[in-house]
Amino acid sequence: MENFSNYIHSNSILISGIILIIAYIFIAIEKIPKVTVALFGAAITLLLGLLGQNKITDGTFNTGYFINFIDFNVIFLLVSMMIVVAIAARSGMFNWIAIEMLKLTKGNPKLILISLGIFTAIASAFLDNVTTVILVMPITFLIAKELEISPIPFLITEILTSNIGGTATLIGDPPNIIIGSAAGFSFLDFLLELTDIVAFILIVNIAILMLLFRKQLSAKPENMKRVISLDNSKTIADKPLLIRSSIILFLVILGFMLHDVIHIQTCVAAMAGAAFLMLFENPEKIFKEIEWNTIFFFIGLFIIIGGLEHAGGIKLMSEWLLNITGGSQRAASMVILWASGILSGIIDNIPYTATMAPLLLEVQNVMGHDYTHPLWWCLSLGACLGGNMTIIGAAANVIVSETSATEGYPITFLYFLKFGILSTTLSLLMSTIYIWFRFLI
């Protein structure tokens, strides 16, 4: 047994790296639920002793204690925002906003595509892209049914714009939550650095989608009138809840924006808002609406990556990155931006970002904060926008495609790929120009 432990210790980088790679492969092929893969990998990491199971060993704090590698800022922010959004959605507020926006289009499919795209992007920036598409899809199917047209152009637009919009803020996309926690960026930092380029990318993508779907965006005049006459008077199911949740949602987001002033972590602001709203709700019902699969996926993933980090594998990878780029900030920025964009389209962008965040921290330890600052934004833009490349690139993509197939409108991998590759390539090209002129000259 002692020989086995010595073998594991002497080959810890190799073994933890193999566990991470195997987990990546199974996450990508989706034959086993990714939460199961992450937890199984985490269990093996602990059973092999790659991370410690005890907080104190021989009277001293264990630096390899597995809990130390779970980023609870990310975990509590995700859970708290899921609670806030789940409670707010029960009032009907999001559906009411969507229907009002659609009625303003007077049933014109082209204007509907624009309004759905913009609404999805904005909502994704302040909620999260998974929650947003879940809220918007029922409206999309309703509109398509009334107009007697395919919902696929709208659904693809919502996938792309949810990932684009989510790029703009700290809470819009899980990769940004990981990056914000690791780099110490505030909600306002994301708004100041990414809002302009994300808005430009959004406009270009919607314009191209309108061009590509132009033949499918036509409806009979009588069907267009049905959309105009949609009754929105009963959409708000609970007015007191609407007022309560709107105030809390506003205060939570305000807390995010004032982080640098009030010095309250985003996860604490979200937790306070969620706790207040829970005072008026049945916890059991609300907790059933939380995406626990996502939460435990994160926890398992943090433990697997923690094993590689503790073994020294992340430090080794950071040294490799600096070697291949010759220490050039420009080269490192471009490598991270494009590698993140391409890889996040092939594998889920969450595990990719969770691996890259500690790597960039190692680079920052060696090269300093000023050198690494643009690299964080390259990682954010690449990971979030790269999620648009394939139908499995981000959680929102998978949810929309599965729901669409259930409704009788399958979106195949290859069909989506045509739009995904075009959107991602253009988005990364625009991001390259932005990063270059914003940080590198």
Task: Kindly state the average pLDDT of the residues 39-61.
Answer: 89
Does pLDDT of 104 surpass 90? no
In this prediction, residue 246 carries a pLDDT of: 92
Residue 314 has pLDDT above 80, yes or no: no
Rounded mean pLDDT of 359-385? 92
* Cα 439 to Cα 332: distance, rounded to the nearest angstrom: 12
Q: Give me the pLDDT at residue 433, please.
A: 96
Is 259 part of a structural domain of the chain? no
Q: What angle do CA 65, 67, 68 make, to 5 degrees?
A: 70
When pLDDT is averaged across residues 8-22 and rounded to a whole number, the result is 89
The Cα 421–Cα 429 span in angstroms is 12
Query: For residue 310, what pLDDT is reported?
Result: 87
pTM of the model: 0.77
Mean pLDDT of 197-202: 96
The pLDDT of residue 302 is 86
* Residue 260, domain member (yes or no): no
Q: Which pLDDT value is given to residue 102?
A: 72
Position 143 in a domain: yes
Domain around 61: 2-69+93-235+291-439
Question: What is the spatial distance between Cα 128 and Cα 174, in angstroms, rounded to a whole number?
Answer: 8
The answer, yes or no, to whether residue 209 has pLDDT greater than 90, is yes
For residue 319, the model assigns a pLDDT of 79
Per-residue confidence (pLDDT) for residue 399, from 0 to 100: 76
Q: Is the pLDDT of residue 318 over 80?
A: no
Q: What integer pLDDT is reported at residue 39 of this predicted model?
A: 94
- Distance from C-alpha of 40 to C-alpha of 151, rounded to nearest angstrom: 38
DSSP assignment letter at 176: H
Q: Give me the pLDDT at residue 364, please.
A: 92
Mean pLDDT score, 242-261: 87
**The two three-digit tokens of residue 307, written as one number:** 């094993």
Q: Which amino acid is it at 117? A: G
What is the predicted pLDDT for the residue at 372?
Answer: 93
Q: How confident is the model at residue 264 (pLDDT cuts 50, 70, 90)?
A: confident
Residue 357 maps to a domain: yes
* Cβ–Cβ < 8 Å for 103, 228: yes
Whether 211 maps to a domain, the answer reads yes
Residues 6 or more apart whose CB falls under 8 angstroms from that of 267 comprise 72, 73, 74, 76, 77, 80
What's the angle, vertex CA 116, arms to CA 233 and CA 249, rounded to 5? Answer: 65
Give me the mean pLDDT over the 40-45 stretch: 95
Query: How many independent structural domains does the chain possess?
Result: 1
- pLDDT interval class at 1 (50, 70, 90): low
Q: Would residue 346 count as lying in a domain?
A: yes
How much is the average pLDDT of 352-357?
Answer: 84
Q: Does residue 5 have a pLDDT over 90?
A: no
Q: Is 297 left (phi over 0), alpha (psi -120 to 50) or beta?
A: alpha
Q: Is 271 a member of any domain?
A: no
Question: Cα–Cα distance between 173 and 179 in angstroms, integer?
Answer: 10
Extract long-range pairs of 324-331: CB within 8 Å, 24+ residues apart: 327/367, 329/371, 329/374, 329/375, 329/440, 330/436, 330/440
DSSP state of 393: S
Banded pLDDT at 347 (limits 50, 70, 90)? low
Whether 126 has a pLDDT exceeding 80, the answer reads yes
Q: Is residue 267 part of a domain?
A: no
pLDDT of residue 380: 95
* DSSP symbols for 39-89: HHHHHHHHHTTSSBS-SEETTEE-TTBGGGGS-HHHHHHHHHHHHHHHHHH
pLDDT at 313 over 70: yes
Q: Are 191 and 257 in contact (CB under 8 A)?
A: yes
Confidence at residue 176, expressed as pLDDT on a 0 to 100 scale: 92
Checking if the pLDDT of 423 tops 90, the result is yes
**Predicted confidence band at 198 (pLDDT cuts at 50, 70, 90)?**
very high
Segment 99-118 mean pLDDT: 86
Alpha-helical (H) ranges within 71-173 are 72-90, 93-104, 109-126, 129-147, 152-166
